[in-house]
């Protein structure tokens, strides 16, 4: 009997000690060591892995197919140092949002790190798919500011209602690309001025760009297979240009109470301009997407296009291009205001962010991997790879990366990137973003194809936007809209008298 009691006593003590050890392990906080974001991420991950016995356990990263090219080259150091192998599970770009939306429902926990477009951020926060990483960012310091800091305002597009949920790892500021030789040709200059009444130069306003598109897309050129521009007019893409043509007239998508302003005279004018360009554009624009655009411009089929910073990688590569060294990098045009200043508004479109799954079994390790990839030192090695990620840090704006994009003109190319960042707006990153933007996209496509009129189509969109806002909760949507406006580029905020984002 005594032996049984003693065994029972020791059993209780052992259980108690194991419980204490378990609690200590779960409450463990890694010590922050390292002179930069990369070292802090590696050291903390190694320390956590040793204490929690995670070495050898695989970290699973959900990736859009193609982004593996940016990630694989820098995995070896992480895996060797931390002892945590990384597995990339990819999905084609069109399936990324739907697959992660399903994960929010099933809560399978098979992924630790999630890479997706920041447009889906609000929906993924509200569906509790991704973790709030604000405290970890404060603790481990991913170097958001400073000499190597993120190009403002890209960092803020990983935030929702003032909290950090993701790291924006792709500088997708869209701007204008022109054929430099055609722009500078003396005969073209003479003929253009005779027709338009002013000199041929880099366009500062939408009218100037539209005049150039008409000039280079005139019938005699179209018969030879050369067109004024590739501007997106196909489903999913078509709303992009309308949004910036609209906002450059000094109007926001909603008022402060989230009532739409898109069916205003400014909205109608922007849509009328889009329809007016139709005869002069490449015939593929109504059905093609970015792969077709990235072929048409490098193959010398168009004078102009609006695209991501990655286009010059193709246009200046002899393996893909007939126009190597013949690319002019130009800011998005705007509208001249009454005071003489030009209001330019550019898109930050798509892009990719790193986020931590709420259902990861090692979420802090997932955060630290995201910081490792996002750090100035590691991202500088990932960006030049032939994948999707474009420069997003000030430290990326150097000769080594620049020549990969824009040959010897890389300083001017990066000047345009920085100017565009100050003029950029994010996607409509609210709950229901795909519904808001999808409804607008379908209406613009319908008008472009001659099935509706601009005013009628935009009235229908405004009515549908009101329903979407009500469905998700007007007050909650207003809160995010007010925050989202603070993340506009500095020059856009200044025009609309919008305060800066929170620190």
- pLDDT per position as a tens digit, 254-305: 999 999 999 999 999 999 999 999 999 999 999 999 999 999 999 999 999 9
- pLDDT value for 502: 80
Q: Name which of 98, 161, 120, 160 is nearest 434 in CA terms.
A: 120
Instruction: For residues 471 and 467, give the distance between their C-alpha atoms in angstroms, rounded to a whole number.
Output: 6
pTM attached to this predicted model: 0.92
CATH number for the segment(s) 175-348+425-496: 3.40.190.10
Instruction: For residues 353 and 368, give the distance between their C-alpha atoms in angstroms, rounded to a whole number.
Output: 14
- pLDDT value for 22: 45
Instruction: For residues 37 and 158, give the distance between their C-alpha atoms in angstroms, rounded to a whole number.
Output: 18
Positions of the chain with pLDDT under 50: 1-4, 7-10, 12-26
Domain residue ranges of the chain, discontinuous segments joined by +: 1-25, 31-171+351-396, 175-348+425-496
- pLDDT value for 24: 44
Instruction: For residues 468 and 477, give the distance between their C-alpha atoms in angstroms, rounded to a whole number.
Output: 10
Token pair belonging to 358? 């709420």
Q: Do domains 31-171+351-396 and 175-348+425-496 have the same CATH topology?
A: yes
Give the DSSP letter string of 32-63.
---SSHHHHHHHHHHHHHHHTT-TTPPEEEEE
- pLDDT value for 28: 61
Which residues have CB under 8 Å from 227's CB, separation 6+?
216, 217, 221, 280, 281, 282, 283, 301, 302, 303
Beta strand 167-168 with 159-160 is: unpaired
- pLDDT value for 20: 42
CATH class of 31-171+351-396: alpha beta
What's the number of CA atoms in the CB half-sphere (13 Å) around residue 72?
Answer: 12
- pLDDT value for 4: 47
Instruction: For residues 179 and 449, give the distance between their C-alpha atoms in angstroms, rounded to a whole number.
Output: 28
Give the DSSP letter string of 157-218.
GGEETTEE--EE----B-EEEEEHHHHH-HHHHHHHHHHHSS---S--BHHHHHHHHHHHTS
CA 189 to chain centre: 36
- pLDDT value for 94: 87
Token pair belonging to 482? 């007010």
């Amino acid at each position: 009997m005594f032996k049984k009691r003693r065994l029972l006593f020791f059993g209780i003590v052992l259980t108690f000690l194991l419980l204490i050890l378990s609690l200590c392990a779960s409450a463990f906080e890694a010590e922050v060591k390292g002179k930069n974001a990369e070292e802090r991420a590696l050291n903390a991950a190694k320390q956590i892995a040793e204490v929690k016995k995670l070495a050898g356990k695989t970290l699973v990263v959900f990736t859009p197919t193609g982004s593996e090219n940016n990630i694989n080259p820098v995995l070896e150091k992480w895996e060797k140092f931390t002892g945590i192998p990384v597995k990339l599970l990819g999905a084609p770009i069109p399936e990324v949002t739907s697959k992660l939306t399903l994960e929010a429902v099933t809560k399978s926990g098979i992924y630790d790190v999630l890479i997706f477009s920041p447009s889906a951020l609000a929906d993924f926060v509200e569906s509790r798919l991704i973790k709030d990483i604000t405290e970890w960012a404060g603790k481990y310091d991913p170097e958001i500011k400073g000499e190597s800091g993120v190009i403002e305002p890209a960092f803020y597009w990983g935030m929702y209602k003032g909290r950090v949920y993701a790291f924006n790892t792709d500088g997708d500021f869209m701007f204008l690309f022109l054929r430099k030789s055609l722009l500078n040709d003396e005969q073209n200059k003479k003929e253009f001025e005779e027709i338009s009444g002013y000199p041929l130069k880099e366009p500062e306003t939408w009218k100037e760009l539209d005049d150039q598109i008409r000039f280079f897309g005139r019938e005699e050129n179209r018969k030879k297979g050369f067109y004024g521009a590739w501007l997106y007019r196909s489903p999913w893409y078509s709303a992009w240009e309308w949004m910036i043509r609209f906002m450059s007239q000094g109007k926001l998508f909603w008022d402060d109470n989230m009532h739409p302003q898109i069916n205003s005279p400014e909205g109608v004018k922007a849509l009328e301009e889009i329809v007016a360009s139709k005869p002069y554009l490449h015939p593929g624009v109504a059905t093609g997407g970015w792969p077709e655009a990235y072929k048409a411009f490098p193959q010398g089929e168009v004078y102009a296009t609006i695209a991501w910073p990655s286009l010059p990688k193709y246009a200046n590569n002899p393996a893909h291009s007939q126009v190597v060294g013949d690319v002019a990098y130009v800011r998005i045009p705007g509208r001249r205001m009454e005071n003489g200043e030009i209001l330019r508004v550019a898109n930050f479109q798509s892009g990719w962010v790193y986020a931590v799954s709420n259902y990861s079994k090692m979420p802090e390790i997932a955060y630290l991997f995201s910081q490792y990839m996002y750090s100035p030192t590691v991202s500088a090695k990932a960006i030049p790879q032939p994948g999707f990620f474009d420069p997003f840090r000030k430290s990326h704006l150097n000769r080594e990366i620049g020549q990969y994009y824009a040959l010897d003109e890389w300083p001017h190319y990066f000047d345009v990137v920085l100017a565009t960042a100050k003029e950029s707006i994010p996607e409509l990153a609210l709950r229901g973003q795909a519904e808001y933007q999808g409804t607008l996209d379908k209406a613009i496509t319908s008008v472009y194809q001659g099935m509706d009129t601009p005013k009628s189509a935009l009235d229908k969109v405004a009515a549908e936007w009101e329903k979407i806002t009500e469905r998700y909760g007007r007050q909650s949507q207003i809160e995010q809209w007010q925050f989202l406006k603070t993340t506009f580029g500095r020059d856009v905020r200044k025009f609309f008298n919008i305060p800066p984002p929170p620190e």
